Amino acid sequence: MKKLAVLVILVLALSVGAYAQMFAGATYQVSFPFKETKDFISKTSWSGFGLEIRKVVAENFTLGIEMDWVKFSDDVTIGPTTERRTINSYPALLTAYYYVGNKEGFMSYIGLGAGIYYIRNKWGNLVNDNIHLGLAPELGFIYRIKPHLGLLASVKHNHAFEAGGWTHIYWTVKVGVLWRND
């Protein structure tokens, strides 16, 4: 309960301030399974979506919140049978980003997300749900196309640490739009 209270306070703190510069974005995501995740499902995920908010807290530095959904699925043949396998991953991450470049044009950034991953593994009729702690380093850029609108592209490494006997690791390519209130 204490963690939920801290999260609510952080969300409120990030959403106030009429004069504070903020970013709000939506992204389409393509993800590639890696290591243990690839052992369970080897196919690329073309089903991914994310929402994020970033607040400028210092020159070239933002803190924020990101929530994503990624779905991996594959039909896996084992002996004479084929089973449908799916992984639904729902990361909820607190993020920090550092920016370099022209704020009116092209900016590159490096960042890190940390938080929880709710992950549902399904194979055949069996289901396994776990909440993982995880980290997500990210490298990307923003290209401002209008005063309040920019395009975003990045590569992110999602690592959901072991929970319930499962570890999930996957790479994500994000493309989307960011709105700025400055």
Q: pLDDT digit string (tens) for 131-146?
A: 999 999 999 999 999 9
What's the pLDDT at 104? 82
Mean pLDDT of the region 58-70 = 97
Three-state DSSP class for residue 59: coil
Q: What is the mean pLDDT of the chain?
A: 91
Token code pair at residue 160 = 């959901």
pLDDT in the model for residue 19: 47
Band of residue 147 on the pLDDT scale cut at 50, 70, 90: confident
Residue 78 clears pLDDT 90, i.e. is over it: no
Pick 155 or 10 by higher pLDDT. 155
CA distance 50 to 52: 7
Q: List helix spans (H) across the chain.
A: 2-15, 36-40
125 contact partners, CB below 8 Å, separation of at least 6: none
Reply yes or no on whether the pLDDT at 18 is more than 50: no
Cα torsion 180, 27, 122, 44: sign: negative
Is residue 69 within 8 Å of residue 49, measured between CB atoms?
yes
> Which whole number is the average pLDDT over 57-78?
95
Closest to 179 measured CA to CA, from 154, 153, 147: 147
Q: What is the DSSP letter of 20?
A: S
Query: Domains plus CATH for the chain?
Result: 2-180 (2.40.160.20)
pLDDT of 9 over the 80 cut? no
Global pTM value? 0.86
